[in-house]
Amino acid sequence: MEQEKGKGSEERWNGAIANLTEMASNLDSLQKILLKKAVFVDEDTFAKASLTSEQARTIKVLEKRVETLEREVDAAITAAARARSEKRQAEAAQKAAELRAQEVTKELENTTKVFELHMEELRAKQEEISKRDKEIKLLEAIIQTLGGTTDSHH
């Protein structure tokens, strides 16, 4: 859509430049004819010829200005397109970074959950071990006591 707009204005500019060029060359021809005949003409005609040549010069200056403006417009359109594309890239990169951050956060949360489960398992095993330890000590005490009594009997 923007390209179509650009094409339309380009055609307008080209048309305007063509018109200006044609006017300039017409005025140039007219000026040459008038200046050739100026030797034989009155002040008024000579003044008109001078004015015509002045207008032709003005038109040439305007033509150059139009061309410069055209180049500036093209450059601005290109720069705007580049800026838009860079903005889209930056937005995409930001989105990707956000998604990665979410993934990492999820991974961390999962790791934490797994770690907590392992710790609970470990605590349960430790409790079991200390319980068995107490039972062993108790049994050892019983054995010693029994052994002691059998020893003292012998």
Against a cut of 0.85, is the pTM above it?
A: no
> What is the distance between the alpha carbons of residues 112 and 25, in angstroms, rounded to a whole number?
84
Render pLDDT for 3-51 as a digit per residue (tens, 0 to 9).
555 667 778 777 878 887 888 788 777 777 777 665 555 677 777 777 8
Q: What is the DSSP letter of 80?
A: H
> What is the distance between the alpha carbons of residues 31 and 14, in angstroms, rounded to a whole number?
25
**How many Å from the N-terminal Cα to the C-terminal Cα in the chain?**
113
> What is the distance between the alpha carbons of residues 131 and 116, in angstroms, rounded to a whole number?
22
> What are the backbone dihedrals phi and psi of residue 39, each rounded to the nearest 5 degrees, phi first?
-60, -35
